[in-house]
Amino acid sequence: MAHTLSPPVAAEQHLVGSWQSRFLRSTLNNRSLAIGLLIITTLGVVALLAPWLAPHDPYLQDTANRMVPPIWHETGSWTHPLGTDRLGRDYLSRLIYGSRISLFIGLVVALISGLIGTTLGVLAGYFGGRVDAVVSYLLTTRLAMPVVLVALAMASLMGGSMLSVTLLLGLLLWDRFAVVARSATQQLRDAEYVQAAQALGCPLPYILLREVLPNIAGALIVVATLEVANAILLEATLSFLGMGVQPPSPSWGLMIAEGKAYMFFQPWVITIPGSALFILVLAINLLGDGLRDLSAPGGRNE
């Protein structure tokens, strides 16, 4: 016996389907969003499947095959498609595993800094007064500190490791989240639906989490994409200077640092991880630009 959906359920499924089709259509029409999403999705799949995709152990040293050039060189070999480094480790395998480090640090740093900055910004924008003054003071103090110099100083004290770099950058990159959340909350705190929730006696956590936060989430997502790219670049910078992820971990910044002594004779040891870093950061910025287009009223390009 056939069962028919009730009108409310059918209408809800129609709305969900229409929203998905509109999002897919908007994504395909937005070139920046489509390209960025495609590259990031591909790199994400590569990072997740690294143990199965990497042709060699990224930590295995083979000094008999040191500095083997990539396959586009005359002496290149398909055994090591992207060549090997100064210790004979397969460059393609290290590049694949390095994507895990970059994506993990970028996402976790954005999560930590987003929680800190959004919390401070929403509280400052909603309450104003002394709360706003305290948050503004903290924000001014944070902006007065150069991130790279503070990160280098703290990393030298804490010791370089993936955990310390992640926590350090997460505690330093919350300012953009705070600025955007504060400004957006100030515009929403006098909205009719917020005042209606206050009049009904809704608790403060309900108002902030259910009425304010969902309406500023779009702007915060755009900021998060920018901070992911910023965190990846800062991690690469710290690793290049010896204060970030430590050997033998296959960090892209560390790979560039290890290859700088050979850059004039085997430039591919720098151009390969540098190109991977450039493509990842470019894709994240394209994704952020596309999300900004979608979140703009009526579309920014219209």
pLDDT digits 0-9 by tens, 130-184:
999 999 999 999 989 888 888 888 888 877 788 888 999 999 999 999 999 999 9
Q: Which residue has the higher pLDDT, 191 or 140?
A: 140
Is residue 25 scored above 90 in pLDDT? no
| pLDDT above 60: residue 201 | yes
Question: For residue 154, how many other CB atoms are within 10 A of its CB?
Answer: 17
pLDDT tens across 76-92, in order?
888 899 989 888 899 99
| Whole-number pLDDT of residue 98 | 92
pLDDT at 26: 62
Segment 73-81 long-range contacts (CB within 8 Å, at least 24 positions apart): 73/268, 80/55, 80/56, 81/55
Angle between helical axes of 162-172 and 91-127 (0-180°, round to 10): 30
Q: Which residues contact 234 (CB under 8 A, 6 or more apart)?
A: 147, 148, 151, 169, 173
Percent of the chain with pLDDT over 70: 88
Residue 211 has pLDDT above 80, yes or no: yes
Which of 47-56, 89-98, 156-165, 198-207 is least confident?
156-165
Please give the single-letter amino acid code of residue 49: L
DSSP annotation of 69 reads P
Tokens 């690793």 belong to: 239
Residue with tokens 């690294």: 50
